[in-house]
Structure 1
Amino acid sequence: MQQEIARAETTDGTGVAYASAGSGRPLVYVAGWLSHLELSWQLPEERAFYESLAADHRLIRYDRAGCGLSAPTSRPPSMDFELEQLAAVVATLGPEPFDLIGTSMGALVAVAWAAAHPDTVRRLVLYGGWASGAAVAPLGVREHVLGLIETHWGLGSDVLTDIFAPDAAATMRARFGRYQRACSTAVTARAMLALCYDLEVTGLLGQVRTPTLVVHRADDRAAPVAQATALAEGIAGARLVVLPGRSHLPYAGDAHELVVTVRRFLGARAPQRGPRTLTPRQSEVAALISEGCTNREIAVRLGIDERSAEGHVERIRLRFGFRSRAQVAAWYATHRDRTEPPK
């Protein structure tokens, strides 16, 4: 699956880059504090997650002003500016209602949009969000993290990576740390995180009339699960699903269960744990994993680059719901001649 990148503009002329992948009903994705459309598509875990969402939808993602491919801006972050940027992207869609998913800080933006524009949203998904930024962490912790980002962006991004993805493999954490630093400057990163802490949508929850799913991981280290409960209790008829895990990033940890939960709510076919048979290339990769090969060794053996090898490994892992290479190796050793994935 490929993505196409285009540009929209807010009413004041701020450029907003957005990407589309897949086909079907639009699913607009409001990301957390930082993003980069091109670089995120190169991260195996993140791309596999997005491709799963785009299997039955046209997935639309965008970079906030000052982040990724979007233009820099002198405007300070605010909820009003967030909604203006989302409006610019929504204006590129047709007149039919779309599905809307907000993750992390994006969940609050999605709530505000659904409250103000109820006729535009068919279904609303809130993952890893909160109702009050002040409740995310004690004031002293918030000030410490903001100061760390401002003075030591490299160290700050590594600390946040440990908070966002504590269960991820070391290679993924290293990639994500570099990814955050490539998304924006330290100044922009600090300003966006400060907005995360400042936003408050408690008073808007009662205005949301869209069918809503609130999803959260039980031990999310970045956003307490109590805030997910606050979101669900404040929105009439909202459904709350708490999944096991500590990772705040949606594509870290057991991404398969999250994808299944979201797709079922949106009315899409829930993906199976794995296809009946692996593709020829995936079979080759699984065989090499069972031999104990690293991604670099797989790349050399197959004549592909290391990033492609990582992508194949991650797609196998996500489709089968595996959390480690050892599980892939064990499955291959016992199921390579069978057509059904493990139960």
Structure 2
Amino acid sequence: MDGAVYHFGQYELDTDRRRLSHAGQQVRVEPQAVDLLCHLVRHRDRVVPGSELIGLMGQGRTLSEAALATCLRTARQAIGDTGTRQEFIRTVRRRGYQFVGHATVAPVDPPTAPVAASSTASAPVAASSTASAEADHEVIRFCRSADGTRIAYATAGEGPPLVKTANWMTHLDLDRTTPMWAHWFDGLTRGRRLVRYDERGCGLSEWAPARFTLDDLVDDLDSVVGSVGLARFPLLGVSQGGAVAVAYAARHPERVSRLVLTAAYARGQMVRADSAAERDAAEVDLNIARAGWRSQDSSFLRYFASQFLADSTPAEWDAFAAYQRQTTSPANGLRFIEEFARIDVSAIAHRVTCPTLIVHARDDARVPVSQALELAALIPDSRLVLLESRNHFFTAAEPAWPAFLSHLDTFLSE
């Protein structure tokens, strides 16, 4: 076991002393649970199979899966997790377990050799990259959109900039640790300076704006890049944020150097319904979403979540629904749903002049792949990549996620 101290949330895990602390106070945990936790944290870059954990705990003895489940439950309880609330240890169905919390690590025995005056030998360094170390110093700031709405934004990492449009749903203060977005944060800040923000009505931005139109969302993006001081930059649009990115690139071709779209669409659900049957299906889907947000009934919200994370478990769908409740109000959730269903950038997409990468899951359960094909046909200098996935948002455990990052890195470096 390596000698290091890991920090995540308010917890500190000393792998050399096999000691877990919370807010400076030692947490009493069974040795096997500590060993399991140490192993998961050390190997947080991958999904650890259950068989590997059984081998670690058994040390040559045969242990049952029930023993693993008990040990895992003990480790989760020690760090405030449960089977449903998986902030740090995530169950990856049929594959194993992964530590998904944002962690930093400092060596127990720092080197004694002289170091440069600009660094400190004992200062924590990033768990995965220097970009993540910079992310620990992320500062959330605020600006005003054209209509006066307060927008929260943040920058993290070092290197060339990458601006990510807001999408359903974000919260600057929570996304770095929530299982749904933590890997996005870590992956996008590696070797880059990531600029991200919460859209109006969501996260740390103002929750009571007068309007939610596409023009307002584009103005929000423009206010953020203006506040950061970027003259020209690559732009990433995810889900409905893709439509915002397309509209911005079409209106400001001199500002956007490259455009990346994933899980995106040119026309919202109601706009792209071309037949009576499609309109009926779109209206049913909207009504289910409306019912869920109005009543906050778990069955409705679980169905809604399953469209975003098709290959996740019911517990993960419930966690997604709980996260949504933290990011916005039910009234705003309804406004978002109805506004996004009517988004349409199909008439201006041809005005995007920069090179564009379009990445989409072949079996996206929320936005059909036909929308990616439409975007590729509308945007002149575009290329299309289809990845094997059913998830609207790529998850940390699926092969599509590293594939997406690889395509993104290659495209931005060209």
Structure 2 residue aligned with 1:135, among 262, 266, 272?
272
Please state if 1:245 is matched with 2:382: no
Please state if 1:151 is matched with 2:294: yes
CA shift, 1:102, in A, is 0.4
In structure 1, the gaps of 5 or more residues are 269-343
| CA displacement, residues 298-326 of structure 1 (integer Å, 9 cap, x when unaligned) | xxxxxxxxxxxxxxxxxxxxxxxxxxxxx
Identify the residue that residue 276 of structure 1 maps to in structure 2. none
Structure 1 SS opposite 2:266 = coil
Identify the residue that residue 206 of structure 2 maps to in structure 1. 71
CA shift, 1:78, in A, is 0.3
Amino acid at match of 1:141: V
CA shift, 1:169, in A, is 4.5
Identify the residue that residue 92 of structure 2 maps to in structure 1. none
CA shift, 1:170, in A, is 4.9
Residue pair 1:123, 1:212 contacting (<8 A) in 2 also: yes
Moved over 6 A (4+): none
Structure 1 residue aligned with 2:413, among 258, 267, 270?
267
Residue pair 1:149, 1:189 contacting (<8 A) in 2 also: no
Identify the residue that residue 225 of structure 1 maps to in structure 2. 369
Please state if 1:118 is matched with 2:264: no
Distance in 1 between residues matched to 2:155 and 2:189, nearest whole Å:
9
CA shift, 1:130, in A, is 1.0
Q: Which is worse superposed, 151-160 or 16-25?
A: 151-160
CA shift, 1:96, in A, is 3.4
Amino acid at match of 1:135: R
| CA displacement, residues 180-212 of structure 1 (integer Å, 9 cap, x when unaligned) | 111111110111111111000110111000110
Residue pair 1:27, 1:57 contacting (<8 A) in 2 also: yes
Q: Which is worse superposed, 165-174 or 85-94?
A: 165-174
Q: 1:40 to 1:118 in 2, by over 3 A?
A: same
Q: Which is worse superposed, 135-144 or 96-105?
A: 135-144
Distance in 1 between residues matched to 2:297 and 2:175, nearest whole Å:
19
Q: Which is worse superposed, 179-188 or 95-104?
A: 95-104
CA shift, 1:153, in A, is 2.6
CA shift, 1:135, in A, is 2.6
Q: Which is worse superposed, 136-145 or 45-54?
A: 136-145
User: Structure 2 length normalisation: TM-score?
Assistant: 0.62
CA shift, 1:148, in A, is 1.7
Structure 2 residue aligned with 1:11, among 146, 161, 167?
146
Larger Rg: 2
Structure 2 SS opposite 1:87 = helix
CA shift, 1:99, in A, is 0.9
Identify the residue that residue 37 of structure 2 maps to in structure 1. none
Q: Which is worse superposed, 119-128 or 169-178?
A: 169-178
Residue pair 1:7, 1:16 contacting (<8 A) in 2 also: yes
Residue pair 1:49, 1:259 contacting (<8 A) in 2 also: no
User: Structure 1 length normalisation: TM-score?
Assistant: 0.74
Amino acid at match of 1:241: V
- 1:273-288 alignment, distance < 5 Å: none
Distance in 1 between residues matched to 2:313 and 2:221, nearest whole Å:
33
Distance in 1 between residues matched to 2:172 and 2:395, nearest whole Å:
15
| CA displacement, residues 35-74 of structure 1 (integer Å, 9 cap, x when unaligned) | 1111111214521222111111111111112211111224
Distance in 2 between residues matched to 1:45 and 1:142, nearest whole Å:
23
Identify the residue that residue 32 of structure 1 maps to in structure 2. 167
Instruction: Tell me the C-alpha RMSD between the 2 structures.
Output: 1.8
Amino acid at match of 1:71: E
Identify the residue that residue 32 of structure 2 maps to in structure 1. none
Distance in 2 between residues matched to 1:31 and 1:62, nearest whole Å:
6
Residue pair 2:364, 2:392 contacting (<8 A) in 1 also: yes
Percent of paired sites with the same residue: 32
Identify the residue that residue 193 of structure 1 maps to in structure 2. 337
CA shift, 1:243, in A, is 0.3
| CA displacement, residues 79-115 of structure 1 (integer Å, 9 cap, x when unaligned) | 1110111111011233431110000000000000000
Residue pair 1:213, 1:238 contacting (<8 A) in 2 also: yes
Structure 1 SS opposite 2:341 = helix
Please state if 1:167 is matched with 2:311: yes
Amino acid at match of 1:60: V
Residue pair 1:22, 1:55 contacting (<8 A) in 2 also: yes
Identify the residue that residue 41 of structure 1 maps to in structure 2. 176
Residue pair 1:157, 1:180 contacting (<8 A) in 2 also: no
Structure 1 SS opposite 2:389 = coil
Distance in 2 between residues matched to 1:81 and 1:249, nearest whole Å:
24
* Highest RCO, 1 vs 2 (Cα 8 Å, sep ≥ 6): 1
Q: 1:132 to 1:224 in 2, by over 3 A?
A: same
Distance in 1 between residues matched to 2:314 and 2:140, nearest whole Å:
30
Q: 1:210 to 1:145 in 2, by over 3 A?
A: farther
Identify the residue that residue 240 of structure 2 maps to in structure 1. 105
Q: Which is worse superposed, 117-126 or 135-144?
A: 135-144
Structure 1 SS opposite 2:163 = strand
Distance in 1 between residues matched to 2:207 and 2:326, nearest whole Å:
14
Residue pair 1:25, 1:99 contacting (<8 A) in 2 also: no
Structure 2 SS opposite 1:176 = helix
Residue pair 1:211, 1:237 contacting (<8 A) in 2 also: yes
Distance in 2 between residues matched to 1:56 and 1:222, nearest whole Å:
31
CA shift, 1:142, in A, is 3.4
Amino acid at match of 2:406: V
Structure with the higher fraction of residues in helix conformation? 1
Distance in 2 between residues matched to 1:115 and 1:228, nearest whole Å:
17
